[in-house]
Amino acid sequence: MKKSIIAKREDGFVISYATFEDFKNLKNLVKNLSKESKCLFTAWLFDEKPTIKVRIGQIIAPLSLLPFIRPLTKKIFPMAYLVILQVKSPQSTVAGFVYLNKFQKISDGYFSATQGTVISDDYQSKGLGTFLRNYMQEVAKKENLGIMKGGGVLENKKSLSYYEKNGFEVEKIEKNVLLSCGKRHDTVEFIKKYFKQISNKQTPHYNVD
């Protein structure tokens, strides 16, 4: 997996691909989020009280970040395939990350995937979520993505506004969903089709991360 810098802001924040070795730090970032922040996104990959099935997925998915396993995972078991971009501060502290997961084959060699974004409490309101997502849009094309999904809870208006401004459409809204933080929230799922010829029949349906 590449570790070179993908982008650097004038204030010193840099984006790079996350590797298998980085994954532990990303999990710790999620673990140390405030309860309020944890309720703003839903992510099976970082659920602290997973079912047995989810726990198996949590073990397998990070292995797809290993270079010698990666191509085979996407070809044979795409649901376990991960793409993660991390952003670090000028002091080399992990400030957040964006990831693609739940890959599914659709047609003509293209995939669908769900995007999730996590920013540390210490680095929120600095535009890092937008910084990460903008570059993930470019990475998605390299990964042959035909469909990208994303979303979260309706209360997280700052995050959801990104999808509204960048070509995503609302696919569904669910009411009173029980999240892993123990609270119930209304959630919204957005969808972006990179190619107009992809029909709704080719769009896999699953819960947003």
Task: Tell me the pLDDT tens digit for each residue of 172-209.
Answer: 998 887 666 677 888 889 999 886 554 554 444 334 34
Pairing of strands 145-153, 111-119: parallel
- Report pLDDT for 206: 35
CB 90 within 8 A of CB 11: yes
- Report pLDDT for 203: 43
Which amino acid, residue 151? G
DSSP 205: -
- CA 73 vs. chain centroid, Å, equals 18
Domain 5-198 has CATH 2.40.340.10: no
Owner of token pair 């964006």:
98
Quote the pTM value: 0.86
Show the low-confidence residues of the chain (pLDDT under 50): 198, 201-209
Domain boundaries, the chain: 5-198
- Report pLDDT for 3: 57
Q: Is the Cα dihedral 63, 136, 181, 184 positive or negative?
A: negative
Sheet holding 94-105, edge to edge: 5-8, 14-17, 83-88, 94-105, 111-119, 145-153, 184-193, 169-178
